[in-house]
Structure 1
């Protein structure tokens, strides 16, 4: 029954991973992320780049969705999307966000928070042109998040664009491109037995990263 109350409070899982100690952490959060990311990539390559992107509109109403990390370096963490999407509208109103990586097999989470900036058109176009033709067509014909009457309308638009651009030369729309989150705060979480998890934050103070152990 759709309206039947489902009590799932009895469901349990136990965390069995080894602990995370402050002495083992890199003093640089970018290096610490790189270490964990490489381990996640080795363990589960298909999911390592999946991240939850949390944004909020001008009135503070939140929204979260999964996007894929596409580039990262010391300047920040990047993804690509339609600027007209809900997340694009939120970031235009409130250019601040948080991304969350959850690596299930390793029982780890990483949260990264900070301001977000839009990447220049050439950067977006370069990545756009590296995508498969089907993905480029989908991005070009879709006004992401906007209502549409049916899937048939979408498929017709795809077929028309395939016919008009049989050579595969599809120009990146001005409405499509990348964003970069510039970290102000990191949090690394390691699951532990009995929910006594290890959590450490990296926070910027006077240009220096300070590591703080947090209660679980």
Structure 2
């Protein structure tokens, strides 16, 4: 076995103070996201999505943020996937963005709601044709015998639709995660990081500093 005790990096790029942040955390998130996007980070919209079953057994995976709205964060998936099934049982979930190049992360806790079918249709139509076919072909999260099985299903749907419009499957669409808590983490020297937390209470955001 290998010990990892000696892996250390001191963070010194920036600071974060509660007196300098906006009252609405979505404004700060958009500022940080834009800085991450402009810094050349590969896929700055990659986020860890954590879900749980009704009895609290957790699961996590990385998905892509596709839209930032005034009231939350939108991603798309197969509703019959593991995450879709868990969100059906338990709408509480968490997101995490890690932008190491900027020594930052954002942690979000909230409630997931399905977006409208019209919104799901609009995004589905924007996807490349093979991605749309893939949404039909993949029984996401289910056990399959081999890769060849998946390729055959893709070929089958490619033949089925041909040159016709590829409609959105009923079991595929979007969720919006409406935040109830957002924490902004800025790395600092000697592990004394800046942590600013926003908590929603009675429709208003409370801003507080957390100990690192």
Structure 1 stretches of 4+ with a deviation exceeding 6 A read: none
Match of 1:90 among 86, 89, 109: 86
- The aligned runs of 1:1-216 (5 Å cut-off) are 5-44=1-40, 46-167=42-163, 169-216=165-212
Pairwise CA distance, 1:168 = 5.2
Q: Could you state the TM-score of these two structures normalised by the residue count of structure 1?
A: 0.94
Q: Which moved more, 1:27-36 or 1:156-165?
A: 156-165
Q: Could you state the TM-score of these two structures normalised by the residue count of structure 2?
A: 0.96
Separation (CA, whole Å) in 2 of partners of 1:203 and 1:131: 35
Encode CA deviations 1:14-66: one digit per residue, 9 max, x unaligned.
21212111222111111111111110110135321110001111111111100
Task: Give the conservation status (yes or no) of the 8 Å contact 1:108–1:190.
Answer: yes
Separation (CA, whole Å) in 2 of partners of 1:92 and 1:53: 15
Task: Give the conservation status (yes or no) of the 8 Å contact 1:133–1:168.
Answer: no
Structure 2: runs of 5+ lacking an equivalent: none
Encode CA deviations 1:47-102: one digit per residue, 9 max, x unaligned.
21110001111111111100000111112111000000010011011011011111
Paired residues, number? 212
Pairwise CA distance, 1:125 = 1.6
Structure 1: runs of 5+ lacking an equivalent: none
Task: Give the conservation status (yes or no) of the 8 Å contact 2:41–2:101.
Answer: no
Provide the secondary structure at the position in 1 that maps to 2:179. Answer: coil
Provide the secondary structure at the position in 1 that maps to 2:118. Answer: helix
